[in-house]
Structure 1
């Protein structure tokens, strides 16, 4: 029996996050705030001869660059959301930016750790008053930035191995099966998902705020009690915490980029619904195509094979499946 195909009308693959535009605006606001602070510190440090202010100003420039990566990813993904060159849309561009930002964050942690070790071995004189002013100013800016980016930063992603379900109802009969595809996208009816790009931007400002808090504590201890070693010791602690955050972000964004199965519970739900429809899942591919948007290819085997639309109807209660393909095979 010849294979039968039914092709769905051409449709858009817009798999951006539910709050993509709002997240983009907030990210660029934080970039602007960081740039203004950077310029003020560099100019003030130059006028008043404070190397601490100048150094922190250039330090802020690295954060502006990292946050700029996040802002650019939002803008590029939005502008090219309808570009046919991107087969599954541009929803994963934010995860690519998050992965890059996580690497920058890791490099920052390594640099802080290296400088801290050097200063533990060879202590240097610290201008406590100037350094406290810089630390308090940096803390204020980063707390304000963190508040702007705070919403939805807590989304979690879980990475699991590729999973297959194999038919036990006999060998598929290749010359007598119904092999039909239906493929539709429903990007507007999805639940919210984790936005790793926003999380990366949030972690950058949170990391800077955290190091500012540690620095203020160390500077106060040094100025009051002469504990010069406290400053590099706090630097080491901060580096370890930032490295831990970076590794978590690398794992989350990397899992999305490698198309790891994003939700084991969703896999189980798909199998349960196919079982209720009288079919067994022979092969299942599930991956994330954007924040809160999943693509799936479901291959089922049934003794009495029905049209793909029948099985898709059983999956209609899972709106997070934004791009669904169903393949039906008649069992021997």
Structure 2
């Protein structure tokens, strides 16, 4: 919806009170890719030799993680590229796209695992349990170390959180493979291996669902889960002289940067850089919104849309 109207005054305040640039995880990505790629090759080789679906399933999952790490690292590189006349925000959103593709690849891997496991359940085959135990135990170490490399950034960046979660889940899954192999040795139940494959698939779905839904939300410019939209609206509504707020939009520019635009009606207000800068500063430090564009309007207009919030000052200003 477009609005054609004249503003008596408007300001654009951009607050960057503290850096939101994510820490560099280049070393972690490089080490993680090399370690996991080598492990995938080992798992495929020993999985075929041992006829273990659990190992092959885990190898497929680890391969999708390798591709996911490559994808995420590529997105990090793109996000560092400068803005252009066409891509005026730069390529920050590539990190959101990478997170979504990461989740989709994992779900495709789950489908492949489930299909093979169901076929194997109909005709169980014995697996070399001792080989499975050794290889999966190595996987626990490799995935655990890789997860540790990303641990420090797992809360601030969806891309890094995806890498951390996947690696940590892989370590747990490898532990499950070890347990399944030990049970097979003591019971002789050959169906344990395909059941373990199905369990791995289930764990992947559980671990991936949050990543998929959050990346989908961000790709559609939804308000990030970490931002309380109502609290932001209340803050803006309570600013001195503001009678109401409209056209409030909050979205993610990347997996680490949040942006906001809003129109604030302040009757009789003139251009006030200090006010705009103070608002941008508070949005940055209180809500983690580092890119805020605030437009000040000195008088109300018919915008053809419902205001985000009518101020508690509205009745007073209408009566004066």
| TM-score in terms of structure 2 length | 0.76
Query: 2:49, 2:300 → 1: CA distance?
Result: 81
Which residue does the alignment assign to 2:96? 95
Any residues of structure 2 matched to 1:46-65 within 5 Å, and which? 59=60, 60-65=62-67
Any residues of structure 2 matched to 1:208-227 within 5 Å, and which? 208-227=170-189
Unaligned segments of structure 1, at least 5 residues:
156-193
CA shift in 2, pair 1:246/1:45, >3 Å = closer
Which residue does the alignment assign to 2:21? 18
Residue 246 of structure 1 and its aligned partner are, at CA, apart by: 1.4
| TM-score in terms of structure 1 length | 0.74
- The Cα offsets for residues 135-161 of structure 1, whole Å up to 9 and x where unpaired, read as 1222221111111122232x3xxxxxx
Any residues of structure 2 matched to 1:75-114 within 5 Å, and which? 75-78=77-80, 80-114=81-115
Residue 29 of structure 1 and its aligned partner are, at CA, apart by: 1.6
Pair 1:323-2:291 in alignment:
yes
Among candidates 257, 271, 277, match of residue 234 of structure 2: 271
Which residue does the alignment assign to 2:271? 307
Any residues of structure 2 matched to 1:29-44 within 5 Å, and which? 29-39=31-41
Root mean square deviation of aligned Cα: 3.4
Which residue does the alignment assign to 1:285? 249
Pair 1:74-2:39 in alignment:
no
* Residue pair 2:12, 2:293 contacting (<8 A) in 1 also: no
* Residue pair 1:106, 1:243 contacting (<8 A) in 2 also: yes
Which residue does the alignment assign to 2:215? 253
Among candidates 242, 254, 257, match of residue 204 of structure 2: 242
> How many residues are treated as equivalent by the alignment?
286
* Residue pair 1:287, 1:296 contacting (<8 A) in 2 also: yes
Query: 1:151, 1:323 → 2: CA distance?
Result: 24
Residue 63 of structure 1 and its aligned partner are, at CA, apart by: 3.1
Residue 276 of structure 1 and its aligned partner are, at CA, apart by: 2.8
Residue 209 of structure 1 and its aligned partner are, at CA, apart by: 2.0
- The Cα offsets for residues 238-259 of structure 1, whole Å up to 9 and x where unpaired, read as 2112112211111111111111
- The Cα offsets for residues 161-184 of structure 1, whole Å up to 9 and x where unpaired, read as xxxxxxxxxxxxxxxxxxxxxxxx
CA shift in 2, pair 1:55/1:264, >3 Å = closer
CA shift in 2, pair 1:313/1:98, >3 Å = same
Query: 2:238, 2:58 → 1: CA distance?
Result: 61
Residue 200 of structure 1 and its aligned partner are, at CA, apart by: 1.8
Which residue does the alignment assign to 2:191? 229
Residue 295 of structure 1 and its aligned partner are, at CA, apart by: 1.3
Q: Which moved more, 1:126-135 or 1:92-101?
A: 126-135
Residue 76 of structure 1 and its aligned partner are, at CA, apart by: 2.0
Which secondary structure state, in structure 1, belongs to the residue aligned with residue 238 of structure 2? helix
Which residue does the alignment assign to 2:140? 139
Pair 1:202-2:202 in alignment:
no
